Amino acid sequence: MLSRLFLALALLLGGTGLSRAVHVVMCGGPALRQWEGLRIQPDRHDNWWANFVRASTIRIAQIQQQDPAARITWIVYRPGYATRGREDGKPYTRWIADLASKYKIKLVWADSADQAIRALNASPRFRGDKVESFYYFGHSNCYAWMLDYGNNIMAVSTEWIHETDLNRIRRDIFTPQSDCWSFGCYTGASMSRWWKRIIGVPLWGNTESTRYGPVSDGRLPEGAGKWVK
């Protein structure tokens, strides 16, 4: 009986102005090897299918180390992992779902850029909740996050969030101190400025390419240029 009262109280407080922090990790999809194998070696991407997935779980572990009870939403672009899984003969989408269960976080599959934006906007589930941190791992150029790149078409993106799409993201879901990072290439050359102007909080991005080699050692990706916001 007492446990039911505590549950009812928690639900009641969740619907009031009691604020809770939410952390969001957005994960783009990998390229297909059939396309990347046609490129010269220095220009090839995603020899390992899980670069962005591993970077995501490193970030998730960082959050949980600081706050074991943190509420985390993991937005993953599903089509990229479904097609790469078919190419490699591996159940990548199931493995990603297993990782979400392991870390006890909320996994939201996105099948398009529009769905990814809607998932971000919906990440604060109760009134008063705010996004305390947002990290993007995936392909990008200086103007857009490319959730899909080199998957449907060689060296081309068919699903992206352009800097001119940022006005579709609700700026009121973020705290004034939100910790926002993009670990895609070249975000710092343009998109970071658009994010600050539209969303109202800084977005750290690198002015050059990002390197995902460090994720194999349990570290977040590194940038070849300067980190700016």
pLDDT digits (tens, 9 = 90+) for 112-128: 999 999 999 999 988 89
Q: Judge whether residue 7 has pLDDT over 60.
A: no
The least confident of 6-10, 23-27, 183-187 is 6-10
Instruction: State the distance between the two ends of the chain, measured CA to CA, in whole angstroms.
Output: 51
Which pTM was predicted? Answer: 0.90
SS3 103: helix
Q: Give the C-alpha separation, 19 to 32, whole Å.
A: 42
Contact 155, 35 (CB under 8 A): yes
Pairing mode, strands 144-146 and 160-162: antiparallel
Which CATH number does 20-228 carry?
3.40.50
Contact 203, 196 (CB under 8 A): yes
pLDDT value of position 2: 44
